[in-house]
Amino acid sequence: MTDQEVARLTGSLIAAVSAAVPTLLDLDERFQHVGSWSNRARIQLWWWGFVGLNAALAGGLYLAVETNDALKSQPIWMRGIIVGLGFLSLMRQKFGTVSGQAVGIENLYDRIRRVFYRRLELAEQVVIAEAVTRLVANSDLARLRQRARVWAATLPLEQKDRWLQWIQRVETDTVSDDEKCTVLATAIAYDFQRV
């Protein structure tokens, strides 16, 4: 392998990583549940598939534009970062609006992203349902209430008060204990993130 080929590969790899890291952070912020092995594999496939797609496209873009005069003067690592982050910016470009609909690369990219996110959301719903089923089957109301209170106690003061009030409302609700267990188990399964 020549020095020039190594430099091209290095720049392409840096561009790929520069595009993959923000994508990974976005996914990590949005999807937090792992669950059973079968669902874990499904989630990981879609998760890393989306990260890999972004990385591959950014790496390919680097190879296509590496000889651009504006980039040529930059060191390889800087070219890679510029192209990788530029790829993500490019994917969010819209060229105009026709009949209230955005026209541009952003539309295609968002549709592809929604396909991946929808698959991840479906797998995540299965994971949550499995966790709720396990919690309800293996705990009684007193245990679930205690677990919820312990979790709430770890939160910052303003959130802690809000969640303790919510737990109190669940406890005093007129629904059956089974329904209370399901509500608390669901909140625990979601780590109180989305309740």
Query: What pLDDT digit, counting tens, does each position of 169-193 carry?
Result: 988 889 998 898 888 888 888 764 4
| Domain identity same for 62 and 108 | yes
Same domain, 111 and 143: no
Please check whether residue 109 lies inside any domain of the structure.
yes
Residues 22-67: pLDDT tens digits? Answer: 999 988 888 765 555 666 777 888 889 999 999 999 999 999 998 8
Residue written as token pair 């590969």: 9
Pair (161, 114) in one structural domain: no
Residues 189 and 195: their CA atoms lie apart, in Å, by 10
Query: Are the beta carbons of 19 and 60 closer than 8 angstroms?
Result: no
> In terms of residue numbers, what domain contains 181?
139-189
Q: Provide mean pLDDT across the span 123-142.
A: 86
Tokens representing 190?
């979601």
* Sign, Cα dihedral of 98, 100, 106, 108: negative
Contacts of 17 (CB under 8 A, 6+ apart): 55, 80, 84
Q: Are residues 34 and 121 in the same domain?
A: yes
**Number of domains within the chain:** 2
Q: Band of the pLDDT at 195, cuts 50, 70, 90?
A: very low
Residue 65: the pLDDT is 92
Residue 133 lies in a domain: no
Is the pLDDT at 141 greater than 70? The verdict is yes
Verify that 14 and 107 share a domain, yes or no.
yes
**Beta-strand (E) ranges in the chain?**
96-98, 101-103
pLDDT digits (tens, 9 = 90+) for 63-98: 999 888 888 888 999 999 999 999 989 888 877 777
Q: What pLDDT does residue 38 have?
A: 66
Amino acid identity of residue 170, one-letter, is V
C-alpha 183/C-alpha 195 separation (Å) is: 10
Q: What is the mean pLDDT of residues 158-168?
A: 87
Is the pTM above the cut of 0.85? no
At residue 101, what are phi and psi to the nearest 5 degrees? -110, 130
What number of other Cβ atoms are within 10 A of residue 177's Cβ?
A: 11
pLDDT given for residue 79 in this prediction: 92
